Structure 1
Amino acid sequence: MTDDDFPPPIFLAPGASPEAQALLDRWNEQWPGMQPWRWAPRQERPDDWIRFHTLANGRQEFRHARDARTARRRVVRVVESVEQVTGLPVAILIVPDDSWHGGVRKRVRSVIPDLEPWASTAPDLDGCSDSEAAEFLADWEPPTHTFRSGPVSDDEIRSLVELVHRSDIDFLLFPDDLSWAISMYDGGVDVVMRNQDEAYRLVTWLWPWLPHRGWPSTPPWTRHPTQRELHRGVGMRYVRRRLRYRD
């Protein structure tokens, strides 16, 4: 097989609108070759990655209603802070459609009813022989990522936070020029900002929510652990476990 037989990393989805094509053109300028999954921006630009915890002690699951309120409040605060620091409001929401099923799809559509098709992504066939790749592509159905342009309200963000924790949906937020990215997982928010001065301002505003030094998979921006964290060993057990496996 030649390179022409393989789809590009990201390409326009069937039925996509001219607005979707314009978004893909901007995407290929700002994030060439990157696929629109929530982990991709931090992997693409690890030096520009900032992580904020949305639950105390780096926890990932809601234990009670107060945890849910805390996560919603922190995510909204992070998004608002990025908008204030950069002067660029959220204008693009991207959500993959391929993993939705049943009730999850209905819940997403109840929160963001006006999503439209945007782009599809190619499979990772590294290490496959030509025959294996050809066999896979013969039956392959490209995953579709949907988008919506325009403002994303605080209430919509709060609802998306719930969906991330309850159903592990994947979504990305961008300004219109795609110059920064915000994504979320259960227990945290990832921000990727190329302007280091703006990143520094954001970190000084929200530093208590940064992971402390020694936390696993630590991004470039961290804080000193508190005495309570040192006393309780919060996050340290993971570090000890990693060191033990490494030895």
Structure 2
Amino acid sequence: MIDSQDLIEVDHLYKSVADSTGQLDILRDIDFRVAARETVAIVGASGSGKSTLLSLIAGLDTPTRGTVRLQGQDLFALDEDVRAALRAQKMGFVFQSFQLMPHLSALENVMLPLELAGRRDARTRAAAMLERVGLGARLKHLPKVLSGGEQQRVALARAFVVEPALLLADEPTGSLDHATGQTIVELMFALNQERATTLILVTHDRDIARRCGRTITIEAGCIAQPLAAA
């Protein structure tokens, strides 16, 4: 029986693609559960399949076999339009490359998901969220005049402003220097705790992974089993 507290169920997930040599297996039989409010780090070498797994959990990509359920809803039983609506309602995203709209101000970037959801208080909520991440004086600034750390703060504000059930973060400090990255990590975990969000984080940084309640290691497309105690 499925635990009613599971927010995410990753059910025997496979992902293969065709290349010049035939079939390339990116992920093989990935199977795990994530409880509501849990923090989980996905780690592994470059090319191990971490980011592909995160895309499948988000329903941004489709598996060869298996499925992902969000609060019991099979993502791949839905068409793409319905999956997109579910993402907008239930998920927040933080990427290494920030993914801000370059022609929109910091305030407008954070307002965007609220406006798409039809929230009439989008401006007020977005301004309050930017104040929370320390950018209350930068509301009108375009991304190009913000530092990398400031851009990632805008991205965090945009992700959390919709009060998502699930936050997905893909190498959120990968484009930042160490000191700035540490600041962003502290802010991300603080916001995550404040808003009781479930966090799934892809990272190569073991120090960041240790901040999470659980670590899943991907090796050659499979979940690595922990070594037995001697």
Task: Give TM class, smaller chain.
Answer: under 0.3
Normalized per residue, the structure richer in strand is 2
State the TM-score, normalized to the length of structure 2.
0.28
Normalized per residue, the structure richer in helix is 1
From the CA coordinates, give the structure whose radius of gyration is larger.
1
State the TM-score, normalized to the length of structure 1.
0.26
